[in-house]
Amino acid sequence: PYCGYLITRSAEILDQFKSFVERTQGDSLGTICSSSRLRDMGQDSLEAIELVMLLEEEFEISVSEDDAASIQTVGDAIRFIY
C-alpha cells in the first residue's frame, strides 16, 4: 500500500539528508531522526544555506528564504520534499 511506500521513501530521504549534512559539515554524524535539531548537529547559518541549496537541487524543489529560516529540524526539511 501507499503507506508502506511513504515509510520506505521517508527512510531513504532521511539517509540522503544525513549524507547532505555530512557533506556540508565535512564530518560524520551519528544517528539522526526527524526530530533532530540542525543546530544540535553543528549546522551553522552558512551550512544551513548550503543544505537548503542541496535539497533544492536534489529534489527539484524551491524553498523561499522565509521557509528556509523556519527549518529547525530534520523533519522540517523533509516536509518540504513531500
Q: How many residues does the chain have?
A: 82
What sign has the CA pseudo-torsion 76, 16, 50, 25?
Answer: positive
Q: Judge whether 44 counts as a catalytic residue.
A: yes
Query: Which residues, 6 or more positions from 48, have their beta carbon under 8 angstroms from its beta carbon?
Result: 38, 68, 71
Instruction: Please identify which of the residues 15, 44, 67, 76 carries the catalytic annotation.
Output: 44
* Enzyme catalytic residues: 44
